[in-house]
Structure 1
Amino acid sequence: MKKAVLILSIICMIFIFVQSWFLSLGGSYFDFATMFQGGIVGKILALLFIAGGIAIMFKPQVAMVVYFLGGAAGVLASMFIEYQDLFLWGIVALVLGLMSYLFNREEKEGKPGSNL
């Protein structure tokens, strides 16, 4: 399950980064401030995706927090910025955060003596 979350994070990060790059480019070319700001928020979200993907391999709790922060940022930013795909990517981040939580719980239950 760790590898699945990592692979999904990498794939999503690539899509988010490319979309955000084009959005920033279009926002600066057409002088549209909210579009440019949406591109910046998208790039930050892409960095959170890859940080969560790296963290899932070592500390699933850290990955869970990173994904939940990314999900909250994506959902909230989509309400105010002209990049409505951030809502979708925020939901994906929340799902990956939930997967990290379930993996962390499963890992703790599997260790002997962890249910004391």
Structure 2
Amino acid sequence: MSLHRHLPGDRLSEAVVANGFIFTTQVPRDGNADARAQTADVLEQTDLVLAELGSDKSKVVDVTIFLPDLADFAEMNAAWDAWVVPGHTPARATVQAKLVDPNWKIEIKVIAVR
């Protein structure tokens, strides 16, 4: 089995590559931004990680989106729709969940292939 931990830390790695699949989770850098801006930020971070690991958003196969407040669903989708590659939409679930930082309006977990 092929396994690579990208930027490992004490508690988590920025991403893990296992058998050609990339697993990464991103959170907003600016907790004061609105849901649309936080989503765009998280997706931008995802783009960077995928590029560093030899992939891109057209190769995303599965996404789980965590929203503490479902009232932010439309704003999240506005940023998502601007990001996702038409014809390459991944499987996706959106879940209401309390996040670690109360200022975060979103957390996104992504699985992609290289």
Same fold flag (TM > 0.5): no
Higher fraction of strand: 2
TM-score for both structures, normalised by structure 1 = 0.28
Query: Which has the greater radius of gyration?
Result: 1
TM-score for both structures, normalised by structure 2 = 0.28
